[in-house]
Amino acid sequence: MASEIWTEKYRPKNFEEVVGQEGIIKRIKSLTNSLNIPHLLFAGPAGTGKSTLALIVVKELFGENWKENYLELNASDERGINIVREKVKDFARTKSLGKVPFKVIFLDEADALTPEAQQALRRTMENYATTCRFVMSCNYSSKIIDPIQSRCAIFRFRLLEKKDVKKVIERISEKEKLEIDDDAIESVYEGSEGDCRRSVNLLQSLAAISPKINQELVKTIISDFKPKEVRVVLDYALSGDFENAKGKLLDLMLKESLSGQDIVKSIQKEIWNLTIEPELKVKLTEKTGEVEFRIVEGSDPFVQLQALVASFVLAGLGK
């Protein structure tokens, strides 16, 4: 089996190979074909094709000379004002090679740039608009200052649907001579939650174990609660049995080695499968969100999870 990473090996080479995001692809393709693009801002979750699409745009614009006219920076690694003053400005002020009159700078994870760096970037975008175009990707566009957003055409990416991830998995399976059944594809999609990169990485891990992939094999790789195990914890809690609910939760935490955030997310998904009143589901979802926030802020995960289980106990008792 090849040692290369499949996410790079099977990265789409042109617009036709990109799955999902059909509306965005159509508009970006029209701009690219005109050989003139504005500054672009790609916003959305990880693994939805933002970086891939930026690379395709550059290759379509410049052809064989794309490397000489393209600068890629990861803003999470180089996020200070000096990166804008030095690398970005030095590249932006030079003339492009070829028939396209501008170069392209791609800033990945632009929402990690400091406010000072974003202000410096704003001026650079103004001063070198004739010789350079910026393509920025971020998870949260709200973290990009308004003056930059107003200078960009904003494209919002969404998580891929199951049919889109299925196309990618089937395409790779055919080339790698893998046998994967529909239930396994379903489990891979659920484990990746619409993140195509995570799906492909998971598929490569599965292929390293066996060329015949079924649902059970997928479950051995995905580190996640089984819904029925979460349901046992919640059923104990809603019946008023706090001690058994807490014990089962601790037992699962130790066996599965999951973080508090993973457990909260698993519980949140299962809430909507419970046979309780919709109003109660809303209240428990709100409580789940509060606990998740506290864990992210640094609170002790087990203490917070016990508090969450206690909320289910009180809900079951009608309090």
pLDDT at 289: 92
> What per-residue confidence (pLDDT) applies to 1?
44
Element (H, E) at 29: helix 22-33
Could you tell me the two tokens for 119? 């202000």
- Please give the pLDDT value at position 51: 92
- Whether 5 is in a domain gets the answer no
Q: What CATH number corresponds to the domain at position 272? A: 1.20.272.10
Is the domain of 205 the same as that of 235? Answer: no
Q: Number of folded domains in the chain?
A: 3
H or E, element range at 134: strand 132-138
State which H helix or E strand residue 152 sits in: strand 152-156
* 12 part of a folded domain: no
Last residue of a domain, one of 128, 156, 184: 156
Residue 36 shares a structural domain with residue 54: yes
Q: How far apart are CA 234 and CA 156, in angstroms?
A: 36
DSSP tally for the chain: helices H, then strands E: 16, 7
Assess if residue 80 is contained within a domain: yes
pLDDT band of residue 152 (cuts 50, 70, 90) is very high
Mean pLDDT of 8-13: 89
- CA pair distance 250, 73, nearest whole angstrom: 43
Residues 152 and 278 in one domain: no
Q: Which of 221, 239, 259 delimits the end of a domain?
A: 221
Do 236 and 213 lie in a common domain? no
Same domain, 62 and 114: yes
Least confident span in 2-6, 99-103, 104-108, 309-313? 2-6
Q: Return the pLDDT at 153.
A: 94
Element (H, E) at 135: strand 132-138
Residue 39 exposed, middle or buried by CB count within 10 Å (0-12, 13-18, 19+): buried
Instruction: Answer whether residue 232 shows pLDDT above 90.
Output: no
Which residue, of 104, 126, 156, is where some domain finishes?
A: 156
% helix, strand, coil for the chain, step of 5: 60, 10, 30
Model confidence over 182-222: pLDDT tens digits? 899 988 988 888 889 999 999 998 998 989 998 888 887 77
- Evaluate whether residue 273 is within a structural domain: yes
Per the model's pLDDT, the better-predicted residue between 1 and 58 turns out to be: 58
Find the domain containing 199 and state its range.
Answer: 162-221
